[in-house]
Amino acid sequence: MNHHSHPEDRPIVLVDEHAHAWSPKTARSRFRKGLTGPTAGVSAGHTQANLISVPADWAYDMLLFCTRNPQPCPVLDVTDAGSWTTALAEGADLRSDLPRYRVWRDGELVDEPTDVRAHWRDDLVSFLIGCSFTFEWALTAAGVPVRHVEQDRNVPMFVTTRQCRPAGRLRGPMVVSMRPVPPAHLDAAIRETGLLPAVHGSPVHCGAPSALGIVDLDRPDFGDAVRAEPDDIPVFWACGVTPQAAVMASRPPLALTHAPGQMFLTDARDEHYRVG
């Protein structure tokens, strides 16, 4: 099954040559007004986050799932039940300030709106999970090319055969994002991302995609295919879409998430999460 974003969404943010310079508040304001599209490179220098909101009676299972699977699910913040605010972004509304959302009922994707206030419930607990877009500034600063940004595409993401450690009622496979890296830059890519464990850290695999059960790099489960240069090595990082794979496998009655690649822009600075 392919879970591509709506094709009409993809270019809107990235064709704006000034999006990298927007403040997070400006980006959130534009998303609140209906602007959609992948957020790689938007508000450069500011941390981006994955979102998943689940009913309070599933929140402990989700917290345990994240704790047991810290590479794909590094928690940056957890809200109180019913709260749509976060300490990571003053004045933000988690129900309207992302470019696009996904609404899941009993594990089935039922809607992809730009605002989830109509689906909101007073018992929902939201988790903000680190996103690999955050470490792309470190890759760029180290001279590592980031192909999907160069090509104005969403990062390709794949469901793997590597199972996460279950937690309560939640189980499911790890999802990974893939970036082609030239061999000369591989050490730098591993080193730089390893210094950012709060946003997935170092790669989970480099090389043959078949080791993760991935059949075709040109057919990602989420996001867009990217063109690699002939000697590029596919490098795979754990991905914050993993909780969505757990939703599909575990079928909670309701879950609200970001659309893959269309993230929440926080006010936090990327370097805040660097450990070295």
For the residues of 147-169, what is the DSSP string, one character each?
HHHHTT-PPPEEEEEEEPPPBTT
Place of tokens 């170092």: 202
For the chain, give every domain's residue range. Answer: 135-238
pLDDT at residue 18, rounded to an integer: 84
Q: Which two tokens stand for residue 220?
A: 């990602």
pLDDT at residue 137, rounded to an integer: 87
Which positions ≥6 away from 57 have C-beta within 8 Å? 123
Name the stretches of the chain with pLDDT < 50: 1-15
Cα separation of 245 and 268, whole Å?
27
Q: What pLDDT, in 10s, does the model give residues 140-149? A: 999 999 999 8
Inter-CA distances, 68 with 64, 73, 176, 214, Å: 6, 9, 17, 23
pLDDT at residue 194, rounded to an integer: 96
Identify whether the C-beta of residue 220 lies closer than 8 Å to the C-beta of residue 156.
yes
> The domain at 135-238 falls in which architecture?
2-Layer Sandwich (3.30)
